[in-house]
A and B are shown apart, each in its own frame.
Chain A
Amino acid sequence: MALLEVKDLRTSFQTEDGVVGAVDGVSFSIEKGQTLGIVGESGSGKSVTCLTIMGLNPRRTTISSGEALWKGKNLLTAKPGELREIRGDDISMIFQDPMTSLNPVHNIGKQLIEAVQLHRDVSVKVARARALELLKAVGIPHAERRIDDYPHQFSGGMRQRVMIAMALINDPDLLIADEPTTALDVTTQAQILNLMKRLQEDFGSAILIITHDLGVVAETADDVLVMYAARVVEQTSVDQLFGRPQHPYTWGLMGSLPRLETDVERLTQIPGQPPSLLRPPAGCRFHPRCPHVMEICKTTVPELVPTQKDPEHLQACHLDEETKDREAAKLLEATMAAEVAS
């Protein structure tokens, strides 16, 4: 049985302007020790997917349906008390902005100890020892001294390490990382990604990593979900995605990666804006921006179906597979995406 199995997850928010469908039919599963990446632009529903699983959406304005089975138990229908026991213990989460994700008025020791004591009936002394152990594991220098420091005394990268320490302190089975490196500078990004990989080996946690950066996916994930406008457009293993991308949106993402060996005036970009989820376009939601748009795309929603060559490779596009393979090959020649993958 999969650790986490999400089936046809749908989440919408009631806003003053109407109902916004933020996640529309997402399914995936994560096995023990595995890493799944979710890629997409801002507002594509990546974060909401995770917040829904964790039950962290605002309760009054959110409507969710589908299933999120955690070890066979549906998290969407679980009582608040049951969810609370799972959160921070079995499933923990790190967030995008380490500058604002730690409480400024408590020192980090107190926040780490709180995380332990919420789930374990241990003394402050034991919890503190555990906190110290984790701070050392995530590479905070002089952890004994710094444990009593406040968040504002740490740099962004150090704070994200503290967040990771807090997330791993109860040996979770699944770590959800919502854009863990987006707010950090490039050298720190690499350090944090390496740290997460190393800790995954040590702690054996599965990781669900959300990012808009294909490079991060290539570096960390086993499987990938590409999301666009609340829907999954492509879902496959990392090797497949970078070796044989099957959706024009994925091509667009890859095409906008900077290349080192060729001189280009400016990066290729996907024209247009992501659609409003309040009134999404009919048919394929990518069609207004798609260079390969056909008549059928404007009326019929493409289903997420396996490709002929690989039943594990799911994609949602009306184009025929030959054209897609040809386009993918053309793209790979021109970009360094393949190199990133290897």
Chain B
Amino acid sequence: MFRYLIRRILWALLLFLVITFVTFVIFFMGPQDPARAQCGGDQATRSCLKLVTEKYGLNKPIYIQYERFFKRLVLHFNLGHSYQTGQNINQAVYDGARETGSLVFGGAVLWMLIALTVGVYSALRPRSLIDRTAMVFVLIGVSAHPIWIGLIFEYVFGVKLGWTPIANYANFFGATAGSGQPGGPWQWFYHLILPWITFAILFAALYVRMVRANVMETLNEDYVRTARAKGAPEHRVLFSHVLRNALLPVVTMLGMDVGVALGGAIFTESVYQIHGLGWSLITAIGASDFATVQGVVVFATIAILTLNLFVDLLYAWIDPRIRLT
């Protein structure tokens, strides 16, 4: 178990190294000039360009620049600053992660609630009216694009009915003083209702189908028959014998999907003007702001690697047949 952990962490470090290096290289080879961006683009003076190039070692070979970046990251947990905006990237990633995190974790709770109730019910009553209706919604959920869903929701619930805000994010711990923005837990919740639903629909649809299929398959297992033969009531059969087995693959998927989404739920963030990581990423790519992109990639990599490790440990805990060696 201990050895497994060590090995996994070493692998994660290697992966981290490779991923950051590859992104570094891609942007290094891009056409943009960081020094020019720093000096104000077209108005850049020769002396400024020289100064910046010297200061950040932009004329050095790529491996030295990468080493510089990596050292700063590992030793000081510092992602540097943006050449374009001058913004501290740690702060930018933190701000973005807060909003994306709120969106993704809330959305995950929502889609799991839907997937478990609808999926299990459909599996227990296959071909019932509810099952058929659910499958129609699954088809819609899988087919409809989040941006389209978001626009419809904004129009119907925000504009026509006036129930919810149509955009923006409210900080859970209160708004920044003097910003005039809404804040606090209720505003946070209120602003995220539509984004959560929009973000959750696609995953809810996929997960309903997955839960349904897994539960139906598990219901045919011999040990479920054994449980019934023991005289176990149906709810006990379901919770103690069926679900724990049926949800194993779902747990894996959940870990991966949440990890990937933490790198930025780009569509939902765009529709609702949530300035999360996806938003930062798109803006940064548009502005050739390499340092910010690198910051988001670093965060997303860490999120995915951590969640995958967590899921693997959880998996071994749920299923005793899996041994971590």
> B-contacting residues of A (Cβ < 8 Å)?
54, 56, 84-89, 92-93, 95, 97, 100-107, 114-115, 118-119, 150, 152, 163, 166
Q: Is B86 an interface residue (CB 8 A)?
A: no
Which listed residue, A93, A101, A119, touches B223 by the CB 8 Å rule? A101
Interface set, chain B 206-246, CB cutoff 8 A to A: 221-223, 225-233, 236, 240-241, 244-245
Q: Is B160 an interface residue (CB 8 A)?
A: no
A114 to B236, CA, bound (A): 10
A150 to B321, CA, bound (A): 8
B230 touches A103 (CB 8 A): no
Given contacts A84-B233, A118-B231, A119-B231, contact A103 B226 (CB under 8 A): yes
Closest to A50 in B: B229
Contacts A104-B245, A106-B240, A118-B236 supplied; 18 other A-B pairs, CB < 8 Å: A56-B225, A84-B232, A84-B233, A89-B231, A95-B222, A95-B225, A100-B223, A101-B222, A104-B319, A105-B244, A105-B318, A105-B319, A114-B230, A114-B240, A118-B231, A152-B320, A152-B321, A166-B226
Residues of B within 8 A of A119 (CB): 231
Closest to B318 in A: A105
Q: 25 A-B residue contacts at CB 8 Å?
A: A56-B228, A84-B231, A85-B231, A86-B231, A87-B228, A87-B229, A87-B231, A88-B229, A88-B230, A93-B229, A95-B222, A97-B222, A100-B221, A100-B222, A101-B225, A101-B226, A102-B223, A104-B245, A105-B318, A107-B320, A114-B230, A114-B232, A115-B230, A118-B230, A118-B232
**Residue tally, chain B, CB below 8 Å to A:** 21
Given contacts A101-B223, A105-B244, A105-B245, contact A92 B229 (CB under 8 A): yes
A104 touches B228 (CB 8 A): no
Residues of A within 8 A of B240 (CB): 106, 114
Of B230, B232, B320, B321, chain A has the most CB atoms within 10 Å of the CB of: B230
Shortest C-beta distance, A220 to chain B (Å), equals 20
A119 to B226, CA, bound (A): 15
Interface set, chain B 5-64, CB cutoff 8 A to A: none
Which listed residue, B223, B229, B236, B245, touches A56 by the CB 8 Å rule? B229
Can you list, as one digit per residue, whether each of B240-258 has a CB less than 8 Å from chain A (1) or not (0)? 1100110000000000000
Shortest C-beta distance, A264 to chain B (Å), equals 37
Shortest C-beta distance, A209 to chain B (Å), equals 16
Residues of A within 8 A of B225 (CB): 56, 95, 101
Closest to B226 in A: A101
Closest to B233 in A: A84
B320 touches A105 (CB 8 A): yes
Residues of A within 8 A of B320 (CB): 104-105, 107, 150, 152
Interface set, chain B 110-161, CB cutoff 8 A to A: none
Given contacts A103-B223, A105-B244, contact A54 B229 (CB under 8 A): yes
Residues of B within 8 A of A54 (CB): 229
A246 to B228, CA, bound (A): 38
Residues of A within 8 A of B226 (CB): 95, 101-103, 163, 166
A163 to B229, CA, bound (A): 11
A103 to B321, CA, bound (A): 11
Residues of B within 8 A of A97 (CB): 222
Residues of A within 8 A of B232 (CB): 84, 88, 114, 118
A288 to B249, CA, bound (A): 48
A95 to B229, CA, bound (A): 10
Residues of A within 8 A of B223 (CB): 100-104
A107 to B320, CA, bound (A): 9
